[in-house]
Amino acid sequence: MRAAVRRLVLEVLGWALVVAGIAALVLPGPGLLMLFAGLVLLSQQYTWAERRVEPVKERAVKAAADGVKTWPRILLSLLGVLWLIGTGIIWAVRPPAPGWWPVDEGWWLLGGWAAGITLIASGLLAGALMVYAYVTYRKPR
């Protein structure tokens, strides 16, 4: 019974991370990291996932190293982090819709505080990953 519950939890969490990782490849968030984590969990159950862990890991490491290769990239990443956190704060506070908003105010900033917290968490995670990549891959000159 315990093994079945463990397997179910790992599989549900693994698939959730894979789906969220794929979404975060085009949305704000650490897509490759979530995809990698989901594949690691699924690789305990499936050989197809085990075969895909290493290529995704290599791409994630390369993306992290490339992201801190030059100062303009570092500054753009920092601006992205600040934009995510700032947008999350605005979304969580949920100010009234501006006068130019063409539809009902109920459609303004859908998701409210939950979407705001998610954006803030994504920004903080991206910032932490940026610091990690800088410390790990940025070579002093």
pLDDT in tens, the chain (141 residues): 888 898 899 899 999 989 988 987 877 667 788 888 899 999 988 999 999 999 988 888 888 888 888 899 899 889 989 998 999 999 898 888 888 989 888 888 888 888 889 889 888 888 888 888 899 888 765
CA distance 87 to 124: 12
Give me the sign of the Cα torsion angle 126, 21, 48, 1.
positive
| Predicted TM-score (pTM) of this structure | 0.69
Q: How many CB atoms lie within 10 A of CB 77?
A: 18
Q: Are 137 and 68 in contact (CB under 8 A)?
A: yes
What are the CA-CA distances from residue 73 to residues 34, 67, 77 (Å)? 22, 6, 6
Ramachandran area for residue 109 (φ above 0: left; ψ -120 to 50: alpha; else beta): left
Give me the sign of the Cα torsion angle 80, 81, 83, 87.
positive
The DSSP letter of residue 139 is -
